[in-house]
Structure 1
Amino acid sequence: MTDQRIVSICPSNTELLDALGLIDRVVGIDDYSDWPPEKVKDLPKLGPDLNINMEKLVELKPDLVIASLSVPGMEKNVERLAELNIPHLVLNPKTIEEIYQDVHTLGAACGVPERAQELVAELMRKIEQVQAKAERLPHSPKLYWEWWPRPIFTPGSGNWLTPISALAGGSNLFSDRPGDSYTATHEEVIERAPDYIFAVWCGVQADKVKPEMITEREGYDAIPAVQNGRVYVLEEGLYCRPSQRLFQGLEELVDLLLADQP
């Protein structure tokens, strides 16, 4: 199966393929797949993930296309793959456990089940190490994650950032809201008084976002996170993509929370 030709049309899938040692089989990717940069920079690009160039994809003669529903609107890509009778695998993880399951599914589909098992074990060990660190936190801070500013999109109970927050010793500010995401109001954010604000605007590079774009909003000066200088712009690739990089984000998150303790 080493001559298998794989196309990935979602960044998190491309990252999982690399973690499984399969990036050398990848013959095409979506425009947003940017990691690991040195391995993907020269791969053929097939357009943005919500508008894949299917003609170009067909020309690559893939044996398997790895699609995803983790980004709203990806359904039309999956429908076109089915219409064209192209072998494909659809991932749609919302939780950490489902990421583990997808690793096993991807490993089995590509003939590397042993590597998949090893990878899941590695990720589980990272979680154990983070939990041990998180026990040193004196209290559980409230974490407000902002995916998008206008309107405000933030993770709800069904998204991986709820357990990620808990594993790091904190709590997702909107973990009581059902579903994967929640459209919040500024009034709700102010009323809930988060201890930390994390800007992880989807698809936006961290250097394009400034903390004052949040701190200068009307009424936000009453929020503890703003008063205590705990508004951070984080790399969205470590928190918005359901791949192994999410676990790196978890490690960095617990270190950040611990570093802020007196």
Structure 2
Amino acid sequence: MRLASLTASNSDILAALGVVEGVVAVDNHSDAPGLERAVRVGPDLNIDVEAVRLARPDLVLASLSVPGMERVVAGVRAAGLRTLVLDPVSVPDTLRDIREIGAAVGLPERGEAVAARLEAELRALARPFPRPPRVLVEWWPRPIIAATRDSWVTDLLATLGAVNALAERPGRSSPLTLEEVRAARPDLIVCSWCGARKLRPEVIEARGLGVPVACVPESGLGRPGPRLVEGARLIAAALARLGLESITAR
């Protein structure tokens, strides 16, 4: 099957399924191994639909986890290409998507195995705390944008025994003022800037909130797929470094 992947999260899923050799077109951000022969068709929000069409994919994979992807999807469908559009907002959604892609490429058993392994690896990182630590995941620094209630981040943190400090704020993400960040009372701020070449925790520390900052590459937290376990491990390690006393005191 000839495949096109327009988002890095879907490319990571295809790699975990072992089918990257069938990927004929891929977005510029995807960095899963084995994609060297695929045609690069532009950044996820600026896909060259004609280039995708010329690659003659049997199936195009897109994801609304990238804000603004709806316009790209409309263009791909207008080109008459068969498209599978995913829209995960939770960890269970992500596991479902892995299974769905596995079934779509004719490997349902492998999809089930990849999803089950991810679920088990995440559960293995769970840790009890006297009080669930409050974690704020920052997607961008200026303006401050952070993950809110309807994000897979909320479920991921719950699996680790923590809570999203913005779990009561609706939406997938939201711009915040510095006062709103302070009011969220985070015990930990995770710097996971989307599309940034370099994470700079000192920018967050300079705000004077006195909250520890941990860095997690966007590839390990901003992509709802098998690499979420990478981000989960880094957050779990950062929470362990906080110490139980500081978490209890806040």
Same fold, judged at TM 0.5 (above):
yes
Contact residue 200 and residue 233 of structure 1 kept, 8 A: yes
Matched, 1:9 2:9: no
- Deviation of 1:199 after TM superposition, in Å, equals 1.0
- Report 1:90-129 matches (<5 A): 90-129=85-124
Residue number in structure 1 paired with 2:47 = 52
Taking the aligned partners of 2:77 and 2:38, their CA distance within structure 1 comes to: 24
Which sections of structure 2, spanning at least 5 residues, go unmatched?
245-250
Taking the aligned partners of 1:52 and 1:117, their CA distance within structure 2 comes to: 30
Sequence identity percentage = 37
Secondary structure of 2:10's aligned partner = helix
Secondary structure of 1:47's aligned partner = coil
CA 1:111–1:245 in 2, change beyond 3 Å: closer, same or farther? same
Taking the aligned partners of 1:121 and 1:11, their CA distance within structure 2 comes to: 21
Taking the aligned partners of 1:176 and 1:70, their CA distance within structure 2 comes to: 20
Matched, 1:233 2:215: yes
Taking the aligned partners of 2:165 and 2:11, their CA distance within structure 1 comes to: 30
Aligned equivalent of 1:43, options 27, 32, 38: 38
Residue number in structure 2 paired with 1:76 = 71
Residue number in structure 1 paired with 2:192 = 200
Contact residue 193 and residue 224 of structure 1 kept, 8 A: no
RMSD: 1.6
* TM-score (normalised: structure 2): 0.92
Matched, 1:251 2:233: yes
Which sections of structure 1, spanning at least 5 residues, go unmatched?
none
Taking the aligned partners of 1:103 and 1:216, their CA distance within structure 2 comes to: 39
Secondary structure of 2:115's aligned partner = helix
- 1:77-135 deviations in Å (ceiling 9; x for gaps): 2111221111111111111111111112111111000101111211221132122xx12
Taking the aligned partners of 1:91 and 1:198, their CA distance within structure 2 comes to: 25
- Deviation of 1:7 after TM superposition, in Å, equals 0.7
- AA aligned to 1:239 is L
Taking the aligned partners of 2:44 and 2:184, their CA distance within structure 1 comes to: 34
- AA aligned to 2:59 is L
Contact residue 195 and residue 224 of structure 1 kept, 8 A: no
- AA aligned to 1:204 is A
Taking the aligned partners of 2:69 and 2:185, their CA distance within structure 1 comes to: 35
Residue number in structure 2 paired with 1:211 = 201
- Deviation of 1:191 after TM superposition, in Å, equals 2.8
- AA aligned to 1:78 is V
User: Runs of 4 or more off by more than 4 Å in structure 1?
Assistant: none
Residue number in structure 1 paired with 2:178 = 186
Aligned residue pair count: 244
Contact residue 216 and residue 231 of structure 2 kept, 8 A: no
Taking the aligned partners of 2:191 and 2:130, their CA distance within structure 1 comes to: 24
Contact residue 143 and residue 196 of structure 1 kept, 8 A: yes
